[in-house]
Amino acid sequence: MTITALIVAAGRGTRSGENLPKQYVPYKGQAILAHTVQCFLQHKDIDNVVVVINSKDEALYTAAMVGLGAPDFVHGGETRQASVLTGLEYLAEGRAPDKVLIHDAARPFVSKEVISRVIAGLDDAEAVLPIVPLSDTIKRIDGLTVDATIDRDNLGAAQTPQGFRFDTILKLHRQSTNAATDDAAIAERAGVAVHVVDGDLANIKITGPADFALLRLREVASGELRTGTGFDVHRVGEGSSVILCGVDIPHTGSLMGHSDADVALHALTDALLGAIGEGDIGRHFPPSDPQWAGANSRLFVDHAMSLVKARGGTINNVDMTIICEAPKIAPHAPALIRSVASMLGIDEDRVSIKATTTEQLGVTGDGGGIATQALVTMTLPAGRPEKQI
C-alpha cells in the first residue's frame, strides 16, 4: 500500500493582501507552504510528497523547501482543477500510489490525526472527505433579505486533505469537464460515494487579510522574548554642542570619537546587536576603518535594525539612561525620544530616555565624559531564522 500526498500550491493568492502568493508568505520564519509540506513529510504513513506549483514560483519554491529534502514538484495549470490533474498525471507516469491525499497548500495546521483518519477511511471507501460542523447559523439570502434559515444539522464544511483511491480520482479528473472547487465534488458528480471523517477546526485555510492577521498574532504569541544591553562612554573635548540620539544639543564641549561620537546611539546599537547575538558595534564598524570617520551614528542603528528585521524581529521597547553632569537632558528628552522612535519605526511610548548624574564622581562626574546605558527588548518569531526569499 503506497500513499502520496499531492499539495496544490499553484494559486496566485490574490485575495491575501500580502505581496507574495499567499503560500509563500513567511510564518514563524518559514513559508506557509513549508509548514504544510512538513505535516505530510512527518506523517509515518505517507510515502511521497509531490507539490504542484505555479511555473512563475520556482525560485520561491526552491527557497521555501531548503532543508526539507527537495520534494518533487510539477508545474500546475490555469485553474485548481487543471493543477490537480497535472499532479495526478505526473504520478501516473510510473509513480502511481494506491491512495492519494490531495491537500491545499494554504492549510498549514493539518494535524496528524486528520491525515490518519482520511487514510484509514480509504480502506472502506474510494473517496474520503474531512468535515467540520458549522457553528454559525446559516441563512439563504435573496438580494438584501433573508429568504430562509437552513437546518445546519445536515451541513458540514469541507476541508482537505481529501483522500482517494488513485486510479479512481485519476479517471474522474480526466473525464471531468465542469469546474469544481474541490476534488470530492468531482467524485460526487460521478456518483462515487464520498465518506466523511472528522476534520479539525484548527485546520483553517489561510485566505484573506483576516487570516494573515491571525497568523501574525499566533506568531507573536509563540515568539521568543529577547533582551539586549549596551553601554558606551565618550570623552567631551573642544566644541559647542553634543549629538545625542541624532539630536544636536548646545553644550560647552563636544563628544570626541571616530564617528560623530553619538554615545547614546552607540549604546543603542550594541543593545540591538546584543539581543540577536550579533556581537558589538566594533565588529560591524571597526574604528580602524577610515570610512566611518565622522559617520552619522544613525547608520549603525540602521544596520543593526536591518539584522533584527532579517530575523523577523519586532522591537517591544527601548529604555536608555544618559549619564552626565551636563548638558541637562530632561528638556531635550521629548526630541530624543522622537528621534529614536522614528529610527526604529516604533511608537514613541515604547521609547524611554532618562538622565542621571554620578554625583560629580568618576568618569562622567567632572564633565569630562558622557555615558549611556541602553536596554532593548524584542520578540523574535519561533522556529528557524527567516530565509531571504
- List interacting residues with Mg ion (CB under 5 A): 232, 266
Q: Where are the alpha helices (DSSP H) in 31-126?
A: 32-41, 58-64, 80-92, 112-121
- Cβ atoms of 22 and 204 within 8 Å: the answer is no
| Closest to Mg ion by CB, 255 or 329 | 255
Report in angstroms how near the CB of residue 70 gets to Mg ion at its nearest.
46
Q: Which residue is nearest to Mg ion (CB)?
A: 266
DSSP letter, residue 311 = T
* CA angle, residues 203, 132, 212, in degrees to nearest 5: 35
Q: How far apart are CA 369 and CA 373, in angstroms?
A: 14
Give residue 252's identity as a one-letter amino acid code: T
Q: How far is CA 4 from CA 99, 104, 118, 134, 147, in A?
A: 7, 14, 12, 29, 44
| Closest to Mg ion by CB, 183 or 260 | 260
Report in angstroms how near the CB of residue 357 gets to Mg ion at its nearest.
20
Q: How far apart are CA 11 and CA 51, in angstroms?
A: 12
- Cβ atoms of 270 and 374 within 8 Å: the answer is yes
| Closest to Mg ion by CB, 96 or 249 | 249
| Closest to Mg ion by CB, 80 or 266 | 266
- Cβ atoms of 121 and 45 within 8 Å: the answer is no
Report in angstroms how near the CB of residue 270 gets to Mg ion at its nearest.
9
* CA angle, residues 80, 21, 111, in degrees to nearest 5: 70
- Cβ atoms of 1 and 166 within 8 Å: the answer is no
| Closest to Mg ion by CB, 219 or 262 | 262
| Closest to Mg ion by CB, 47 or 280 | 280
| Closest to Mg ion by CB, 270 or 386 | 270
Identify the CA nearest to 40 among candidates 137, 151, 160: 160
| Phi-psi group of 287: left, alpha or beta (phi > 0 → left; psi -120 to 50 → alpha; rest → beta) | alpha
Report in angstroms how near the CB of residue 255 gets to Mg ion at its nearest.
9
| Closest to Mg ion by CB, 126 or 232 | 232
- Cβ atoms of 32 and 24 within 8 Å: the answer is yes
| Closest to Mg ion by CB, 24 or 285 | 285
| Closest to Mg ion by CB, 102 or 244 | 244
- How does 297-334 read in b/e, with b if 16+ C-beta sit within 10 Å? bbebbebbbeebeebbbbbeebbbbbbbbebebeebbe
- Cβ atoms of 156 and 182 within 8 Å: the answer is no
